[in-house]
Structure 1
Amino acid sequence: MTLATKGHLLPAVSALSAAVFLLGASIEDAEATTLRLATDSGTKGSPAGDALETWGQLIEEKSNGEIDVKVYYQNELGGQQEVFDLLVAGGVDMMLNWPMTSYDKRIGVIYTPYMTLSWEEAMEAYRPGGWVNELLGDIYADIGLKFFGPWPEGFNGVASRGKYALTVEDAGDLAVRTMTVFPAPQTMQALGYQTAALDWGEVYTALQTGVVDGEAGNVIYWPYEYFSDLLDYYVHTKHFFMTGILTMNMGSYESLDEAHQQAVREAAIEVMDQQFVAAREQDEHYIAKAQEDGMEYFELSDERLAEFARRAREQVWPQMDEELGSEIMDVIRANATSL
């Protein structure tokens, strides 16, 4: 498999190769307290890459240099699933990632379509103490991960080439890439699209070869920055509120003394707080920038968004009852935006 970044193909590193590499690093750094920090999406210099670098620097500062943080950006240790596997196994200590549901389908709560319809509601739900935040913390603990909090980006949409859809009927002519997690494909199918669930690293090639007509998993930054040479339109369907997650292998966390745990935790909270302030402005900046560079942008009316939301809730939420459990879905129904 090959991975694509801004149109350049990079060789994928297998999980086994990464594990061997990390084992060698652990021997080399045996005398130091070394933590390995990775992301599954975001090169050096990207917003996610900058957040990763900041988190590492803050940990080193707050520990008075007693912790050394080694940072690994997108593709350096493998694809999305491979790096998440390393995190769960302890080969990677900390991660900013976009949640994978392979270990617990309940993580898919973060991809519940149309839970919130405004920035204000979304930020309140995801903040520490917010109802979505509380749900995620419990779920992550059950798979051996320390949950620090979300790294919000904003509402996602559909970027496409040659044609676009503003209605469910028009969407039937478009095949779009979705994330490989439940219920991403199911959500886009409910909105009328044909779908192909692909790892992030496979998207450029799929667009280039015509396997898909568009990408339906991200805020505008990602398709604009990575695929602007291939995509013409962005329709802000707002089906998911996208957020990365700051987390740590529980064994790695508990192996630290109390002062070092505090340094890691405080650094994560600082990075999270910075993004809560910056996220909306960052998203609006890239919406404007994409348009300046020739991408046509469509903001849907409140009536059309409500129509999409009703359709997705009617078709996808019952499936989520089966996959995530009615207890979680009852919390979502009680707190989601009223239509």
Structure 2
Amino acid sequence: MKNIKRGLSIAIVAAMVLGMTACGGSGKTESAGKAAEKKSFSLKLSHYRAEGSPADINAKEFADNVKAADDSLEVVVYPAAQLGDYTAVQELVSVGDVEMQMATLSSTVDKYLGITSAPYICATWDEAKAIFSRDSEFTETIRTHLEDQNIKLLSVYPLYFGGAILNKEPNQPANLDVREGYKVRCQTMKGAELVTNMLGYNATPMALNDCFTALQTGVIDGMIGSGAEGYYSSYRDVATYYLPYNDHFEVWYLYINLDKWNEMTTEQQDALQTAANKLEDDRWEVAPKETAEYEKKLEDYGVKIIEFTDDELQNFYNKCWESVWPELTELYGEDAVELVKNLKAEAK
């Protein structure tokens, strides 16, 4: 029944965008592209941040850079999940009904992709870059898994270390032996559920698009899975407290339908890839500075920031690797977890 419901929801979203979509090819492997006949493309690019947010501005800069490099390519940005929740849109990109997306990865089809949002996967920006940059060994495994879904990975988009928002006052949030008892939305991934429970909350898996109303109506008491910038951009009106747990590293992926990619000439592919590389490179420079900026914006808006000491943050990290990662190792495989550990060690 769950698969039927998901299929129906995807079909509905596909019907909404079908009229704007050109038919894709049927190839399942990446081709060189240089032998393709050059034609013009209009590419829908979906993301789920609000219009005018940093991600939206960056997506539109990417579109402008692509157009400037090759005027046969037009990237049309659709912010605020206008084309559907990112999980549904990822599947729509796979079948070619939406051409591109910039978002976190869904693990609905492939559970391995959930490792990109795994809790406390890294503790510093140096570790994050070693793991998640587009040329890393880790990202190569992600690229391969996405190709199995008929998706071509272009680059990554790093954002921040995440936290939680609550609309009820936390009791002892740094004490992992205290159960807050609050219902806190988390991503529909095993790691997110485990770490939310570890932090003392009752994990409530929920689609991102449902969170604002659920917070507004009291269905949930808080949410985890975003960070200061994300909460300020989309949830500041339903947040009373912000707790910067550093519980996950938020990284999005910019990708395109593989069939569409294979229809392009080498010059068109180069225009897209060059703009995608610039998008990522700029983010690695800017993103580390944004956290303090957006925590200040939340505070100025009236959201109370619950600060944690370095020792408390280290305790969260250690506890997660002791109690959560053994289960994640079973899910993602020892090779993947060892790769993450090795890349972190190299970053030190």
For Structure 1 versus Structure 2, the TM-score category normalised by the shorter chain is 0.7 to 0.9
State the alpha-carbon separation in 1 of the partners of residues 42 and 100 from structure 2.
7
2:53 aligned residue (38, 46, 54):
46
Contact 1:174–1:193 (Cα < 8 Å) also in 2: yes
Q: Distance in 2 between matches of 1:166 and 1:255?
A: 53
Residue 331 of structure 1 is matched in structure 2 by 339
Say which SS state the counterpart of residue 255 (structure 2) adopts: strand
Q: Which shifted more, 187-196 or 328-337?
A: 328-337
Distance 1:304 1:325 in 2: 29
1:14-93 to 2 correspondences below 5 Å: 14-26=9-21, 33-63=40-70, 65-93=71-99
Asked if structure 1 preserves the Cα contact closer than 8 Å seen for 2:50 and 2:233, the reply is no
Residue 124 of structure 1 is matched in structure 2 by: 130
Q: 1:266-325: CA deviations, max 9, x gaps?
A: 111111112111112222211111112222213322221222122211222122222212
Q: What aligned pairs does 1:118-197 form with structure 2 within 5 A after superposition?
A: 118-164=124-170, 165-197=173-205
Output aligned runs, 1:141-290, within 5 Å: 141-164=147-170, 165-290=173-298
1:308 matched to 2:303: no
Tell me, in whole angstroms, the C-alpha distance in 2 between the residues paired with 1:27 and 1:96.
20
Separation of aligned partners in 1, 2:337 and 2:257: 27
Contact 1:37 1:52 in 2 (8 A): no
- Offset at 1:168? 1.6
- Displacement, 1:126? 2.0
- Any conservation in 2 of the 1:14–1:77 contact (CA below 8 Å)? no
Instruction: Report the Cα distance in structure 2 between the residues aligned to 1:269 and 1:109, rounded to whole angstroms.
Output: 23
Partner SS, residue 229 of structure 1: helix
Letter in 2 for 1:49: D
- Asked if structure 2 preserves the Cα contact closer than 8 Å seen for 1:122 and 1:241, the reply is yes
Residue 248 of structure 1 aligns to a residue in which SS? strand
* Secondary structure, counterpart of 1:169 in structure 2: coil
Distance 1:26 1:135, change over 3 A: closer
Which structure would you say has the larger RCO, counting Cα contacts within 8 Å and 6 or more residues apart? 2
Task: Find the residue that maps to 2:190 and give its secondary structure.
Answer: coil
- Shift in Å, 1:19: 2.3
Alpha-carbon contact 2:112-2:332 (below 8 Å) kept: yes
Task: Measure how far apart 1:14 and its partner are.
Answer: 4.8
Larger CA deviation: 206-215 vs 36-45? 36-45
Find the residue that maps to 2:122 and give its secondary structure. Answer: coil
SS at match of 1:26: coil
When normalised by structure 1's length, the TM-score is 0.88
- Once the two structures are superposed, residues 9-47 of structure 1 have per-residue CA deviations (whole angstroms, 9 ceiling, x without a partner) of xxxx9533432343322369xx96223233341132111
Distance 2:112 2:188 in 1: 15
How far did residue 231 of structure 1 move? 1.5
Letter in 1 for 2:106: M
How far apart are the structure 2 equivalents of 1:32 and 1:147? 22
Tell me which amino acid in the other structure corresponds to 1:140: L
- SS at the partner of 1:331? helix
Alignment coverage as a number of residue pairs: 324
Q: Which residue of 2 aligns with 1:6?
A: none
CA distance in 2, matches of 1:115, 1:14: 32
The CA distance in 2 between the partners of 1:69 and 1:222, in whole Å, is 23
- Runs of 5+ unmatched residues, structure 2: 1-7, 24-37
Which range moves more in the overlay, 124-133 or 200-209?
A: 124-133
- Given that 1:172 and 1:192 are in contact with CA atoms closer than 8 Å, whether structure 2 keeps it comes out as yes
RMSD: 2.4
The 3-state SS of whatever aligns with 1:147 is strand
Q: Which runs of 5+ in 1 are unaligned?
A: 1-12
